[in-house]
Structures are given as C-alpha cells and as structure tokens.
Chains A and B, each alone.
Chain A
Amino acid sequence: MTQRRNLQGNEACALGAIRAGCRFFAGYPITPSSEVAEAMARELPRVGGTFIQMEDEIASMGAVVGASMGGVKAMTATSGPGFSLKQENLGYACGAEVPCVIVNVMRGGPSTGMPTRPSQGDIMQTRWGTHGDHSIIVLAPASVAEAYSETIRAVNLSETLRVPVVVLLDEVVGHLVETVDLDAIPAGAEVWRKFATGPREGFEPYAVTDDLVPPMPRPGDGYRSHTTGLTHGPSGFPTQVPDQARAAIQRLSDKLDLHREAIESYRTRAIEDAEVLIVAIGITARAAQAAVTDLRAQGVRAGLFRPVTLWPFPEQALRDTVENSGARAVIVPEMNQGQMVLEVERLLAGRAEVHRLNRIDGEVIAPAQIARKAIEVLA
C-alpha cells in the first residue's frame, strides 16, 4: 500500500514522532512551529496518546520531561523565543538523562525577530543554549521526508542514549510541502530506552555501565529512586565530592563520544574531485545542491557536504572529505552572521581556506548566490 501525499515539514515531524512511539506532547503555540502541535493534538488521541497545550514553553518542557520520567516517549516543538524559554528544563533533561525530543523551527532573531521569515540563527544555541557543560544531539533535516525520518531517529537516539535530541528545522523546511510516501521511508523497529530490571535492593539509577547509558527506572516498577538536577553520583543523590562530581559530568559527554558512530550522519554530493566544497544544512543545503549541479554544468568541480547530524558535528567525515577530494576552498553558506562556519574553520584549520556566505535579511540564500561565490573563490 503506497500512500503518496502532500505533507508539510512540521507535520512530518509530528507523524515521525508518533511513528517512533511518541505518546506525549506538550507545547505552546509559536510561529513557525505551531503546526507540529496542531498535528499532535489531532493525531495523538488516535493512538492513545496525550496532548496538552501548557501555559508557556517553560511548562511545556517541564511537562515533557515529567512525562518521559513517567516512562512515556515525549516531545515538544517551538521556535526562537520559546526555545530560549525551554533551556533550563532542557538542561535538566541533559543532567538527569531524560529522553525527549525538541523540535526547533528557526525564525529570524534576536528576540521576536522576524516570526515568519527563515533563519539559521540558532545553530550555536542548540549546542550551547542551556548553561553548564553538557552534551546534546541536534539533527537538521533538509526535506519533508527527512523531517519525518530524522524525527524518528531523534526519538530513537534520545531513547537509546537517554539524552535530549533537538530536531532543528528552518522556517522553509518547516513549512515546505512536498509529496512523500511515508510507507516507503524505512522506520525500523520501535526503539525503547533500557528500563531497569533486576533486584530493587541496592539498585543504582546512575550506575556506570559498559555503554555508559544507565538503565532507567520506571515509576511503579518498585525501584523508588531519586531524580535530580543537582550533580549526582551513581545513587542518584546529590554529591559534591570532587571525584564523583567530575565522573558524573564527564560521563555525560563520554556517553555521546562512545556512541558517535550511531549518532553521526551526513550526506555528500559530487565530492570525489571537488575543488570547492560547500558545507550547508537545511534549506541552504538544498540551494547548495542546486548550485553544485549548475556549477558542474559550467565545468566547475563543486561538491556538497551536508551534516544531517549537526551536533556532535561529523568532524572526521568533513576532514576526510576535504582530504580525499583535495578541495582547496570551502564555502559555508548559512542564514546567520556565521555560526556553523566557526566549527568548519576549527576543523579545517590549515587544510583548506574557508569562506563565509551569510544572509540575515529574512530571505533564503539562492543557488546563484552560492555559485557566484564558488567561482569568485576559485578565481
């Protein structure tokens, strides 16, 4: 049975989440993400799930973490101003290792900014938005089909690694309508966090396991454990003993490092012999792809590197791509004043010259703009 239909990026996030087993959504309306909440309000009751519109984004994030601590897969969605409000409770999820998914559909900023205009201004905020050392996963779809599949992956990664995962869309991908066949997109088997099993006596909710992901106790299963945002040792209770504190904080980042292979994802196009490599995400990557096609038609050897996992950034893959293609110039087009380029510059220092291409006027970067820049830097 094929089911080709016109679907919007935001709605695809909602359907992907439900497909992956998400059964709780709490949110607060904000352009350009509201369609995620609206789709969840419509769809969740059909699968026995719960939707609630909370009093603000702080509460939404809190409710999502609360539901997940109850053993139910949970998601929220928002945009700039709301994403800022969620940060404290998002940090709680990082520290207490509570699986959850946050869709952030980027609009122009700072502040209320340009609510209906696209932007990629939250690239650094998704990585470092909440205070303190922490690790987080950010996935950046570039199409409606990918909004669906990456939200599924977001739910799965958050479950297996007990970490919040941000699905980062720009307004264009969020509102883009494309024809997709959801049944043709492999969703894989449903993935769950490891729930605690075994003896209740002496159970340690944050025990250090080989995979660095502690099994999660579910209320009602008899473990009666404690969860806190205070730095805690294996027992789950607060600690300020230096060795224990260091180990607890270190494990959070070691955990993601250990599972980097499963987390990282990227796509490339025409990189083999590329003399100029374009690094882009989201709708800007779609423009870059068109630019690569146009440039190739003109005989310019251009290639595209598109991180699908934005954080942790696919470091080695980018370095290898540049090395193997022998590209001498790299262009990073983004709808901000230069955020992802900082990471690219850091990774490629001394290996290739890195050029910026930025746009902050609420308009998308056009393929012709990228092509022009490529010709200019090669000249």
Chain B
Amino acid sequence: MKDAMEQVASRDAGSAAEFDIRQYVRLDQMPHFLCPGCGHGIALRALLWAIHDLGLDKDKLAVVSGIGCSGRLSAYVDANSFHTTHGRPLAFATGLALARPDLHVIVITGDGDSLAIGGNHLIHACRRNLNMTCMMLNNEVYGMTGGQVSPTTSAGRLTTTTPAGNSEPVFDACALAAGAGATFVGREVTMQIVALRNLLRDAITHDGFSFVEVMSDCTEIFGRKNDLGSSPEMILSQKSAMRPFAYRNTVDEPFRPNTMPTGVLARHERAEYGAAYREMCARRQDKGAK
C-alpha cells in the first residue's frame, strides 16, 4: 500500500507540482473500501487537489456525506467529516453552514442519495443558495446496496431490480439543479481529472450553492452486469458520450440525449442565503422591530 502511495505521489510530482494527496487523506483509514476501478476515488482525488490548490484550511473544512459508496468518502478526508443519513447530507450541511458560516462546507453525495431519496433537499438547496459545494457522484446505480436501479440508470440497462432492462427515463441532474435555481452547475467525467479539478475549484470559490455532477463508473457491479468492459473502457466510453459545454450554448435536452455537456453549465450571481438572512434580520433590528 505504501508503494502504491509512493507511486501516486511521484506521478503527481510531474503534473501538479506540490499536490501530495497524503496531506489530505487519513492514511490510517487506508486501504479504502472502494472496488478496483471505481471512479469515486478519482473524484475524491480531484476534490482534494482543488482543495489543495485553493489553500483551504483543513481545520475549517467540513465534508458532509450521505449513505452509499459515495457517502463513505468523507471518512477518508483529513477534515471535519460527517457521514450522515441516506439522502440527507444537504439537510445536515444546511444547518452546519448556517450555524458556522466560517466553515467551507463540501457535500459528497451519490445519484440515489441526492436524486431519489434526497431529491427534495437537493432542489431546495439549489433554490436557497446557501454557501456550499455539492459534489454528486453519478455511477448510474445504487452501488452500496448491490446494484439496484437509480434515477440516472440509462435506458435498457440491467440492474438487480430491472432484470429485463430499465424502462424508466433518467434524470438530468444538472438540468434539475439549474432548473431549481442553482447559481453554479457543472459536470465532468473522471477521465478529465484536471478539468474536474478546475471545475471543483470554481465551484468551491463560487459564492452560494454550487452543484457538480461527476460521471463516475461502477465497474464491479454495474459494468459487469452490462458487459461494459474494464474500468478504463467504461471511463473512455463515458468521455466519448460527453462534449464540452463550451461547444454549444444551451442545456436544452430535458432527458439525457446521446451526448451530455460537460464543464460549467450554469453560473450566475444571486444573494447568498446566509448573508441575505443575516442582513435582513439586522435591518429589522435597526428599525427597532418589536
């Protein structure tokens, strides 16, 4: 394991001068529990890289996650980490961020966690615009519970609860977030780790709620069941199913088309919820409200 870490560190030395992931993960929690080939680890790496680039104080960093393979990631981050309940990390994070505006709050969630059981919290978090970043890992499946269908499972795919193939349409998480009023929305694939890091950097520095969908891959369960090949093959085919948003102007397809846009898909300014609340309360006190 130590050798592997060493290798990773030396690979980084070439690409990103001073980022050493060992400074951001809890080495005593290694080896991690993700399956070989799982994209979640790449996403976590990109997140930690962004955190490093931004020079965030780990003591002031709060990572809040839900339940799922994605939810397990918080335990690996050397920060204040909160592994909450299924679908609810955004609710916990809302309380935390409001109570402690001095913290950098980052939520890690899965497609089932945030689009199925936690869908209500996601749309209201987008609407409120409280300062936090939500990174959703979309692996098209419920990984943790053994491969059941999720709101993002592609049409026709086999899962343990769609033995004849999935007949439900998929959610476009980014379109949902943008529609619910999120002031920063972006998507990236794990293959483009540098682009993903850049996107996460922009998301974290955004004033308000930022939503980033990371196309992850579940090789062991979903890939195997659908003959999608090895992890590199899955990651490659994911990449070819995407095209950078910069090449087009609108997110106008309601359900997932053959290609999906990546990059920053929506960005605009709106009052940050916590600041707006505190300002309104202060104004009311000034008026001597009874």
Contacts and interface: CB of A to CB of B under 8 A. Distances in A.
Contacts of A305: none
A220 B59 CA distance: 5
A222 interface: yes
A106 to B, nearest CB: 24
Interface stretch (A5-13, A69-77, A107-115, A174-182): A69-77
Interface residues of A, number: 44
B284 interface: yes
Contacts of A71: 99-100
A70 B94 contact: no
A65 interface: yes
A38 to B, nearest CB: 14
A63 B285 contact: no
Nearest to B277: A50
B56 interface: no
Contacts of A23: 99
A223 B121 CA distance: 29
13 contacts: A55-B121, A56-B120, A58-B91, A59-B90, A61-B91, A63-B94, A66-B92, A67-B98, A71-B99, A89-B85, A227-B82, A229-B83, A237-B29
B34 interface: no
Interface string A27-49: 00000000000000000011000
B285 A220 contact: no
B88 A220 contact: no
B59 A221 contact: yes
B69 to A, nearest CB: 14
B91 A59 contact: yes
Contacts of B58: 224
Contact of B284 (A45, A50, A224): A45
B193 interface: no
Given A54-B91, A226-B74, A226-B75, 8 more contacts: A23-B99, A52-B95, A52-B277, A59-B120, A68-B95, A219-B60, A219-B96, A224-B79
Contacts, number: 137
A63 B81 contact: no
Interface in B19-68: 26, 29, 58-60, 62, 64
Interface string A224-249: 11111110000001100000000000
A64 interface: yes
Given A219-B80, A219-B100, A45 B94 contact: no
A58 B124 CA distance: 13
Identify whether the interface residues of B are mostly helix, strand, loop, or mixed: helix
Given A70-B103, A219-B80, A226-B75, A58 B88 contact: yes
A88 interface: yes
A66 B277 contact: no
A194 to B, nearest CB: 18
A72 B85 CA distance: 20
B180 to A, nearest CB: 11
B84 interface: yes
A70 B96 contact: yes
Which of the four size classes fits the interface of chain B? Answer: 35 or more
A50 B75 CA distance: 29
Identify whether the interface residues of A are mostly helix, strand, loop, or mixed: mixed
Interface string A345-369: 0000000000000000000000000
B102 interface: yes
B281 interface: yes
Nearest to B58: A224
Nearest to B274: A50
Contacts of A72: 99-100
Interface of B: 26, 29, 58-60, 62, 64, 74-75, 78-85, 88, 90-100, 102-103, 120-121, 124, 277, 281-282, 284-285
A24 interface: yes
A26 B90 CA distance: 14
Interface of A: 23-24, 26, 45-46, 50, 52, 54-56, 58-72, 74, 88-89, 92, 217, 219-230, 237-238
B277 A67 contact: no
A61 to B, nearest CB: 8
Contact of A220 (B60, B120, B277, B282): B60
Nearest to A55: B124
Q: Identify the interface centre among A223, A224, A230: most chain B CB within 10 Å of its CB.
A: A224
Contacts of A217: 80
Contact of B99 (A24, A46, A227, A230): A24
Contacts of A52: 94-95, 98, 277
A219 B85 contact: no
Given A45-B281, A70-B100, A72-B100, A24 B95 contact: yes
A26 B95 contact: yes
B83 A54 contact: no
A24 B100 CA distance: 11
A63 B78 contact: no
B70 to A, nearest CB: 14
A230 B83 contact: yes
A238 B65 CA distance: 15
Given A45-B281, A221-B59, A222-B59, A59 B100 contact: no
A170 B148 CA distance: 43
B77 to A, nearest CB: 9
A66 B120 contact: no
Nearest to A52: B98
Nearest to A23: B99
A297 B137 CA distance: 72
B169 to A, nearest CB: 24
